[in-house]
């Protein structure tokens, strides 16, 4: 994947929430999204706040928020959308992944 390729889009709601959760963190803190093996459907999404970047990271900027994805995870996330929902069920980041063939009920794991 090239350095200019953007594997995911970030909604305005997700960008606003990322800005909110990083506002009390050290300067340069951003959200890292990753994919790892595990979870009830085979793969799990990971969301973490960090200041560390790797050589193969893809950086996505949206409305003052920064999201970073490692190159391997980006392959699983190609074409996805990161959103933030606030409804009666609670508040959460939600990944809409067109590559997922199945997801679990909680939405944090998926199969391909």
pLDDT at 102: 61
Rg of the chain over CA atoms, in angstroms?
A: 14
* CATH for 8-106 (2.60.300.12, 2.40.30.10, 1.10.10.10, 3.30.200.20): 2.60.300.12
Span 9-57, pLDDT tens digits? 999 999 999 999 999 999 999 999 999 887 666 788 899 999 999 998 9
* In the predicted structure, residue 3 carries a pLDDT above the cut 50: no
* Contact call for residues 79 and 7 (beta carbons, < 8 A): yes
pTM of the model: 0.81
pLDDT at 66: 96
């Amino acid at each position: 994947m090239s350095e200019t390729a953007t594997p995911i889009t970030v909604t305005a709601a997700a960008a606003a929430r990322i800005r909110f959760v990083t506002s009390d963190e050290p300067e340069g803190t951003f959200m890292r999204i990753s994919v790892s093996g595990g979870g009830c459907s085979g793969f799990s999404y990971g969301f973490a706040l960090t200041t560390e970047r790797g050589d193969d990271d893809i950086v996505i900027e949206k409305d003052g928020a920064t999201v970073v994805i490692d190159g391997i995870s980006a392959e699983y996330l190609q074409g996805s959308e990161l959103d933030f929902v606030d409804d009666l069920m609670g508040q959460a980041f939600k990944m809409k992944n067109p590559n997922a063939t199945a997801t679990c009920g909680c939405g944090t794991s998926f199969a391909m």
